[in-house]
């Protein structure tokens, strides 16, 4: 099956919708053959193919490129395995299975796959970096993002590269800060905090930062996991509802800037029906999780680390006072 034949199998409404999505203009006056030729011409450009293949999820990319190399036309996988390819018009669903039109396959085969693989690796690194930063801090100054990039990769983070990362994630900068959309509203109309490098926890390596990248952020936090395991064990929800409850509570903990308010929210969500011994354990686990989890309000630091910093600062100030007293005594003796 070639690409034109694959498009011919679609009805006019689908073709017009595809055209309007591709070109952002009305297809109302176009006939079927015009729609097909316009869509095919756009999809077969190297710019379109490189852009789509660059953004394609890794598992789909591997599957598609294997089909291209082996010259397969039918790919025997369910539609959900190639959702991105279907949405991007690189595959089509038929009764025989997923189809990769042979002329499109040949066009993909002409691309510079080595260059494409290098760009995919760079993009994967960039997305791991920026999502790691955003989910570790929640909101973060651009200066700190640039400093981290220099530290991990020994090069400057260009404005073009940073803007591309943020554009892919749908993040808009607010002055000199990057803020996750889920908490952005809380900053509207507020004075943004000034940049202080010491406010932020800095992961020692990129590998450590990657622990916070993507949807699995904060899932390695031991105390938080113990708290969530307790909730999962005692929750009335199961299956999908239980998973959604855990995700919600993980977010509330990481985004917490008021322990009492967070506790109230958790009681309403989960803890109203706990027995007294269960509630005491719930409180203990909550306090420990809050102290030992990297929170957005503290620049990714743990509350226990904040306390230690305060103690060290107070000790340093006390020692400095003692030095001044000693020096003053020496001065008095000399006079």
Condensed to tens digits (0 to 9), the pLDDT of residues 170-185 reads 898 888 999 999 998 8
Among candidate residues 159, 172, 136, 143, the one with its CA nearest the CA of residue 255: 136
**In this predicted structure, what is the pLDDT of residue 231?**
92
What pLDDT sits at residue 127? Answer: 94
Predicted confidence at residue 318, as pLDDT, reads 80
Average of per-residue pLDDT across 264-269: 91
Share of the chain above pLDDT 90, in %: 73
Q: 331 Cβ partners below 8 Å, 6+ apart? A: none
pLDDT at 335 over 70: no
Q: What is the pLDDT of residues 273-303, one digit of tens each?
A: 889 999 999 999 999 999 999 999 999 999 9
- Residue 234 is predicted with a pLDDT of 86
Please indicate whether residue 148 or residue 311 has the higher confidence score (pLDDT).
148
Q: Which residue has the tokens 């039109």?
A: 101
Q: Which residue has the tokens 């239980």?
A: 242
Place of tokens 């490189």: 50
Say how far apart CA 268 and CA 270 lie, in whole Å.
6
Does this model's pTM top 0.75? My answer is: yes
Pull the structure tokens for residue 250.
């993980």
Confidence of residue 314 (pLDDT cuts 50, 70, 90): confident
The overall average pLDDT reported for the chain is 91
């Amino acid at each position: 099956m070639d690409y034109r034949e694959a498009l011919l199998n679609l009805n006019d409404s689908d073709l017009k919708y595809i055209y309007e999505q591709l070109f952002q203009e009305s297809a109302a006056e176009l006939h079927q053959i015009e729609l097909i030729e316009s869509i095919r011409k756009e999809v077969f450009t190297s710019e379109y193919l490189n852009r789509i293949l660059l953004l394609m999820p890794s598992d789909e990319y591997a599957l598609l490129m294997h089909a291209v190399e082996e010259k397969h036309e039918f790919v025997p996988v369910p539609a959900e395995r190639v959702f991105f390819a279907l949405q991007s018009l690189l595959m089509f669903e038929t009764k025989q299975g997923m189809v990769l039109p042979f002329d499109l396959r040949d066009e993909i085969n002409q691309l510079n796959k080595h260059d494409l693989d290098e760009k995919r690796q760079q993009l994967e690194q960039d997305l791991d970096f920026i999502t790691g930063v955003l989910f570790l801090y929640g909101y973060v100054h651009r200066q700190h993002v640039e400093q981290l990039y220099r530290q991990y990769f020994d090069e400057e983070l260009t404005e073009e590269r940073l803007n591309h990362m943020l554009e892919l994630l749908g993040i808009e900068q607010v002055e000199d800060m990057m803020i996750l959309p889920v908490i952005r509203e809380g900053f509207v109309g507020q004075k943004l905090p000034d940049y202080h490098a010491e406010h932020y926890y800095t992961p020692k390596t990129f590998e450590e930062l990657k622990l916070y990248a993507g949807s699995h952020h904060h899932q390695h936090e031991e105390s938080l996991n113990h708290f969530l395991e307790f909730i999962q064990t005692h929750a009335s929800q199961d299956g999908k509802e239980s998973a959604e409850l855990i995700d919600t509570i993980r977010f509330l903990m990481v985004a917490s800037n008021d322990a009492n308010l967070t506790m109230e929210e958790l009681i309403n969500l989960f803890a109203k029906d706990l027995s007294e011994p269960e509630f005491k354990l719930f409180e203990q686990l909550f306090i420990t999780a809050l102290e030992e989890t990297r929170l957005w309000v503290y620049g990714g630091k743990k509350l226990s680390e904040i306390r230690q910093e305060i103690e060290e600062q107070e000790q340093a100030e006390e020692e400095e006072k003692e030095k001044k007293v000693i020096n003053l005594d020496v001065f008095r003796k000399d006079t």
